[in-house]
Structure formats: structure tokens, C-alpha cells
Amino acid sequence: MKRLSYVFYILAALLLFSGCADKSAVNVQATKQFRYYGLNNFEFSEFYTVSKYHTPLQIKNMLNKKIIELLSKKGLLSTNKKDDAIGIDAKYTRRYTGDTSAEKKSALAYPFFSYTIKIVDVNLKKRTIEKRNVPFKGTMSMNMKLIASQLADKEYEKDFVDAFANMIASDIEALSLQ
């Protein structure tokens, strides 16, 4: 009986850990530089709309521009067809203070970021990085403004988008170093 329970635990562990493997990508060495042609997909969501903030298209363009700027600074962009291509799907979830309550407020809360980075070489998906609903982490002074519902200027969204682009660029840089 003891032996049977031991075998059961081994089988349960194997089933549990086999579900954890990333079956979507072959783990192959990525190139040191990448071709990037812009965001593949961009999704924007919010519980309700406050017109004084950036439009979804403006957010998308700001994000794409910042990603290109950061990758260029890090020397990671290439036009060489032999280098891997990067595909990025991004989702920006704008939030407002109290956006899930009955009282709608117009001050910004910290957004959530989701993204998928795919490294592709001639239709062979080499690697995929996926992050879902990562919250923005503000400075102490920004946290105090958040608590007081004082993030009511669209300039704060530039900080949010810059942080989002930095997360993406850092993950791409880490791929080039592996």
C-alpha cells in the first residue's frame, strides 16, 4: 500500500510539472540584435472614458516610439535579415481612482501592463516572454498623489508609458545577453 501511494505521488508530481513547461517556443539562442517593425497588436482598455487623457492611438504611438528609442540606445536594433525579428503584443489598462466603485472619478490610478514578446527567425518561433497585468510602481511622491487623487494630468501617463516601454526593452535586452 505504501508503494502504491508513493507511485501515485510521483505520477501526480509529473502531471503537475509537465503543465508548467512552455510548449509555445523552442529554446534556441537568440541573435544579439533584432529587427523591429513596430507593435504587432495593441489593446487598450478602461472601465469608463475621461476625455482629458491621451487617446488609445496616442498611447500606442508613445509606447512604440519609446521602445524604438530604448532599443536604439542599447544597440539592439538591426536591419540585417539574418537577425531575429521581434513581435510585440501589448495591452495597456488605464485605471482611475475608485474606478470599480459607484462614484466615477477622473484622477488616474496606476495602470496595468500586459505584453508578449516573440522572437522569430524565418517562421520559427524561438522564444516567447509573456507578462500579464503587471502594475505600475510609482515613486513615494507619486504614491502620495495617488492616495490624494491628484494624478489628474495626462502628463502622468507619459511616466506610465515610459515604464511600460522600459519593461519591454529590458526583457528584450535580457534575451540578447543569453
120 in Cβ contact with 149 (< 8 Å) = no
User: Taking the model in full, what pTM does it have?
Assistant: 0.79
Q: Could you tell me the three cell numbers for 35?
A: 529587427
Residue 18's pLDDT band, with cuts at 50, 70 and 90, is: very low
Cβ neighbors of 172 (< 8 A, separation 6 or more) are 34, 71, 76, 86, 117
Pairwise CA distance, residues 81 & 126, whole Å: 16
Span of 25-34, 67-76, 87-96, 131-140 with lowest mean pLDDT: 25-34
113 in Cβ contact with 144 (< 8 Å) = no
Burial class, 151, CB count within 10 angstroms (exposed 0-12 / middle 13-18 / buried 19+): buried
pLDDT in tens, 36-80: 988 999 999 999 999 999 999 999 999 999 999 999 999 999 998
Pairwise CA distance, residues 142 & 32, whole Å: 36
Domain 26-177 has what CATH class?
Answer: alpha beta
How many Cα atoms occupy the beta-carbon half-sphere of 128 within 13 Å?
Answer: 13
Average pLDDT for 158-168: 96
Pairwise CA distance, residues 152 & 134, whole Å: 22
